[in-house]
Structure formats: structure tokens, C-alpha cells
Amino acid sequence: MNGIHNPAALPSPPDCTTFTEALEQVFAFAVTVEHYMQAGIAARGLTRARATVIWQLHRHGPTTQQQLARAIGVTARNVTALVDGLQDSGFVRREPHPSDRRAFLVHLTDTGRQVTKQLAADYEAGSQDLFSDIPVEQMGPFLSTMQTLTARLATATGPQTQS
């Protein structure tokens, strides 16, 4: 009780080195996660941006290119190039929109659906490999910290876009 009213009795705040070391660890984690993700999608013949498009289609079904651009945070020109590449690779197809003559719906092909099933299975297996032996009582604080850091970084960097 005495420490609550006596600042001298409280532990001193961490020095700046601790924060710097924490940020360095966050950056190292981010680089490692990026390599991990790239390896998984490259094995499927995809880039991160293309994987984002097919994952969006997997989760939300056929979508216009305009909706895709908004959903993944890229320009209309970028989404056109992404869809062109995915169509050329056999992952998606375009079909006329049933009610808008000016638009096309982007659909996953059988190949695209198979790849997203594999990505989903890899995602599930990866989460098991990464977290299965971490005590459950540590997961809540970990997730809370990750959410806080993600929100702070998102605020610091502004709107996110992909190319």
C-alpha cells in the first residue's frame, strides 16, 4: 500500500534501452514472419499480393475488381494487373456481372480453390506448430499486446496499401 502513495517506493520505469530492444525484437519478428509467409505462398506459385486476392475471393466469394481493390487497399490499376496475372496463371476467371453491364465478377477457378484449401491447411498447421506448446494463460496477454502494437503501428503509418 505504501508504494501507491510513495513514488520513490515504486519500481523505476524501464530505461530507453529496454524499449529499443523491444522494438528491435518486433522488427526481427516481422521480418521472420514475412519470410515464413513468402515461403508458403511462393511454394504455391503466388506473390503476397496475389495470395491476398485469392484469399479475399475464398473468404467472400465472387467479387468485382473495384470491390477487390477497396478490400485489399490497392488502386484499380494494381488490382487489374493482379487479376490479369492470376487469370493467366489459372487461379481466377472473370465473368460478366449479372446486373451491371460495365463490371465483371472475379471467381476462383478449381485451381484457385485448391490452392486456397492448401493455404488454409498450411495456416492451421502453422498455427498449431507455432502456438501449441505455449501455455494458454500466456495467450491472452500475448494477443492483447499484439493487438495494441498492431493498432499503434497502424496509427503511426496511416492507411495501408499493397502493390
pLDDT, position 66 = 94
Residue whose entry in the numeric block shows the C-alpha cell 496499401 = 161
Q: State the total domains in the chain.
A: 1
Q: What is the mean pLDDT of the chain?
A: 87
Q: Assess if residue 38 is contained within a domain.
A: no
- Rounded CA-CA distance 37/35 in Å is 5
- Gyration radius from the chain CA atoms: 22
Identify whether 101 is part of a domain.
yes
pTM above 0.75, yes or no: no
Q: Is residue 79 part of a domain?
A: yes
Mind listing the pLDDT tens digit for each residue in 52-61?
A: 999 999 999 9
Angle between helices 76-88 and 65-72 (to 10 degrees): 110
CATH code of the domain in which 97 resides? 1.10.10.10
Q: Provide the pLDDT for residue 7.
A: 47
In the prediction, which pLDDT does 163 show? 46
pLDDT tens-digit series, residues 22-45: 888 888 888 898 898 898 899 888
* C-alpha cell at position 129: 506448430
Has residue 138 been placed in a domain? no
Q: Is residue 108 part of a domain?
A: yes
Identify whether 146 is part of a domain: no
pLDDT interval class at 112 (50, 70, 90) = very high
61 lies in some domain: yes
Cα distances (Å, whole numbers) of residue 24 to 17, 41, 130: 10, 26, 20
- Per the structure, the complete domain to which residue 61 belongs is given by 46-125
**149 within a domain of the structure (yes/no):** no
**Percent above pLDDT 90 for the chain:** 62
